[in-house]
């Protein structure tokens, strides 16, 4: 599976798929009616990637132009974070 980028929280990675509905409903449908159980199972199949960090569905592929831009912005932001007005902890000046 390809890597995705969350447009909400800038999370990057392989997202888990969202499973809709309830396993209990599926079980009961199979107990009493085979056909609705099958239909429910098909509808329930995990097919929507969700963000692993914030559980939203606003994911774009990392290889897309928007994904590349978000990943670059997130990288720049995390790189500049420790240097924001604070002394560098790796500095040799004491």
Contact footprint for Zn ion (CB under 5 A): 6, 8-9, 11, 51, 53-54
Residue 20 DSSP class: P
Nearest approach, Cβ of residue 59 and Zn ion (Å)? 8
Least Å from the CB of residue 10 to Zn ion: 7
**Closest distance between Zn ion and the C-beta of residue 91, in Å?**
34
Residue whose CB is less far from Zn ion, 2 or 22: 2
Which residue, 94, 87, 12, 76, is CA-closest to 49? 12
d(CA 9, CA 35): 40
């Amino acid at each position: 599976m390809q890597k995705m980028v969350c447009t909400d929280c800038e999370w990057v990675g392989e997202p888990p798929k969202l499973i809709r509905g309830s396993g209990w409903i599926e079980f009961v449908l199979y107990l009493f009616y085979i056909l609705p159980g099958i239909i429910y199972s098909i509808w329930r199949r995990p097919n929507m990637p969700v963000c692993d960090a914030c559980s939203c569905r606003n994911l774009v592929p990392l290889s897309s132009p928007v994904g590349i831009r978000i990943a670059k912005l997130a990288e720049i932001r995390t790189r500049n974070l420790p240097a924001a007005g604070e002394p560098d902890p790796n500095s040799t000046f004491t």
